[in-house]
Structure 1
Amino acid sequence: MSPARGGSGAGARPKRPTMVDVAREAGVALRTVSRVVNDDPTVGPEYVVKVQAAIAALNFRPDERARQLRTGVTGTIGAAVRRIAEVNPELAAIERTARECGLTLLASSTDFDEARERDILISMCRQRLDGIILEPIGESHSYLEPELEAGMPMVSMDRPMSGISVDCVISDNASGIGMAFHHLHEHGHRRIAYIGDGERVFSGRERAAAFRAALRSHGQPVEDLVHPGELTTERVGAALERALHGAQPATALVTGNMDSTIAVLRLLGREAASRIAIVGFDEVPLADLLQPALTVVAQDTATIGRTAVELLRKRMAEPGRPVQNVVVPLELKVRGSGEVRA
């Protein structure tokens, strides 16, 4: 068999073998090579063997860019999430499901920066990916309307996009807060406080509203018991001071997400945290190693990530289908911290 044609001159970049080279090596027509490369089932098995042998001998790799131009399909989807550097189980589920479906995942972190989110999404659209999954943070995504109209499939995860209508998968935030509140109430707590994320974010807004509703339904006042806001040490510290050291101190806490849980635990310290009942919203790494172990309302991140990919694939296959919103149930994981009695 003949070697692949190389470049000429010292230091010249080797020329990649082409389908013309493969056809010459296999002794078949160029069209036959193209059909084998594209898995045409009508090609005779004897020709498939010849072409595959020539491909192996020349170390030929099909031009993926040419295939993408011809089919309009890249086999690549994008995911823009809040964080990549830290543990992100939803992103892990997306990557695992995409791989099972034969898709490559291109992921990028928005770092809670609205301008960065916009730049990432516009870049992904310009790269003509097959679809995009977004964990949105921006206040408006109406700038993506032209991309939707041009046929770019998108799915929102964890919270809806604002200003546009796309498929969405979220946790049952209100139900989760209700579970946490009811669990603490069953253990004798009548002054239960909430410390969570800012209400500018959809999930933060839903969880704070659900907590206020739970207080009212049990005839408890809202004042000094609901503390959403920016997750800074100063703000969370002030919220803890008001909740735990006021005229009528709270005897239990519900935290609105993983970041607020960690902030609260750090500020309380090991000894104080062990004396107050706490239920966190979101699983926290090593939560079972705390003393007492942390009771949480856990999101089903595997189902959320998998559903996001499934919704995206459905949208890719059927662009005109009705928009679908999927709400995923949560689970109360009882470990000890929520069982500290009043």
Structure 2
Amino acid sequence: MVDVAREAGVALRTVSRVVNGDATVGDKLAERIRQAIDRLGYQPDERARQLRSGRTGTIGAAVRHIADAHPVLRAVDETARGLGLTVVAMSTEDDPVREREAVMSMCRRRMDGIIIEPIADGHQYLQPEIDSGLAVVAFDRPATGVSVDTVLSDNRGGIELAFGHLAAQGHRRIGYIGDDERIHTGQQRAAAFRDCLRRTGVALDGMVHPGPIEPGRIGAALDALRAGPEPATAIVTGNHMSTIEVIRALGPDFGSTALVGFDDFGLADLLRPGVTVVAQGDREIGRTAIELFRERLAEPARPVRTVIVATTLITRGSGEIAP
């Protein structure tokens, strides 16, 4: 920075202000300093900046499946980059041990905060880090055993949207195939679906099929719903993974049974018929997670917040098939 100040003919403090984004430096002067920086190939020392500020400008993100398309993680990254923050993401693969390893690895690297898609039954191990000032935001499901800011989708409202839409098409025998109920979203959506059946007077027996997202299990659930004297004429799926497996299991029969999926997914609009979905507000969830993170950094003692993001029904054809 001394070299840059000499090259630009300004005080060292002025260079520091430009490097640190101080908007009070005049445009012409700031441009002269930036040109000197370019000529000399100067790079700010992020480690030194972190030591001075106590902040790293990085956020850890622990999500279920990083190898899959992850719209919320994309929204988190886009929002963070717009604020000059860096996101470092790791995958937990629905494994509580792997989740803890990933999260504690991020803690050891002294990131400013962690945005987590929780999978473990307990997150008490995070309490010492939270007490030390780590900002933690959970999304998609609550963290357990600790009190942290949380962003959730309106799971119940989304299922009611899907069920009500199919009922409006004339369907009375509506089945459900969803995620494992040990996962918060799987439990919430299956419970909401059971309530929808109860309100319409339809027996629950054989109509609700939560469980692991495995082809064999999904195929068996689909067979059960389509068998018997009163087969299901419509299906609600609990997330995009179960939707895809149901479509794969239906094969050439896709389009013979009405279908509404929870979660939108790539190519849903290109299938024939297009897949009607209840879309989560992925961009809103990601944006809100970063907003809660920044609020927590600015005011560590403020009350914990939980934000529920609304869902939207997108009709494309599969949910409009008559009984």
Instruction: Compute the TM-score of the two structures, normalised by the length of structure 2.
Output: 0.92
Aligned to 1:273: 254
What displacement does 1:58 show? 2.5
- Aligned equivalents of 1:288, 1:326: Cα separation in 2: 29
Residues 39 and 191 of structure 1: CA distance in aligned 2, closer, same or farther (over 3 Å)? closer
- Aligned equivalents of 1:45, 1:277: Cα separation in 2: 61
Aligned to 2:118: 136
Residues 59 and 197 of structure 1: CA distance in aligned 2, closer, same or farther (over 3 Å)? same
Among 336, 339, 342, the alignment partner of 2:317 is 336
Aligned to 2:234: 252
Matched residue type, 1:294? V
Aligned to 2:284: 303
- Aligned equivalents of 1:173, 1:192: Cα separation in 2: 18
- Aligned equivalents of 1:23, 1:152: Cα separation in 2: 36
Alignment of 1:147-158 (within 5 A): 147-158=129-140
Among 201, 209, 216, the alignment partner of 1:227 is 209
Give the gaps of 5 or more residues in structure 2: none
Aligned to 1:96: 78
1:210 aligns with 2:192: yes
Aligned to 1:125: 107
Paired residues, what number? 323
- Aligned equivalents of 2:311, 2:223: Cα separation in 1: 30
What displacement does 1:161 show? 0.8
1:239 aligns with 2:221: yes
1:182 aligns with 2:160: no
Q: Deviations over 1:236-283 (max 9, x none)?
A: 11111211113431111110000000111101113x221111111111
Matched residue type, 2:230? Q
User: How big is the alpha-carbon RMSD for the aligned residues of Structure 1 and Structure 2?
Assistant: 2.3
Aligned to 1:6: none
- Aligned equivalents of 2:293, 2:233: Cα separation in 1: 44
Aligned to 1:85: 67
1:321 aligns with 2:268: no
What displacement does 1:204 show? 0.3
- Aligned equivalents of 2:172, 2:319: Cα separation in 1: 14
Q: Deviations over 1:170-192 (max 9, x none)?
A: 11000110111111112221111
What displacement does 1:32 show? 6.3
Identity of paired residues, percent? 57
Residues 72 and 336 of structure 1: CA distance in aligned 2, closer, same or farther (over 3 Å)? same
What displacement does 1:90 show? 1.0
What displacement does 1:110 show? 1.8
Give the gaps of 5 or more residues in structure 1: 1-18
- Aligned equivalents of 2:35, 2:320: Cα separation in 1: 67
Instruction: Compute the TM-score of the two structures, normalised by the length of structure 1.
Output: 0.87
Matched residue type, 2:267? L
SS in 1 for 2:61: strand
Aligned to 1:108: 90
- Aligned equivalents of 1:336, 1:32: Cα separation in 2: 61
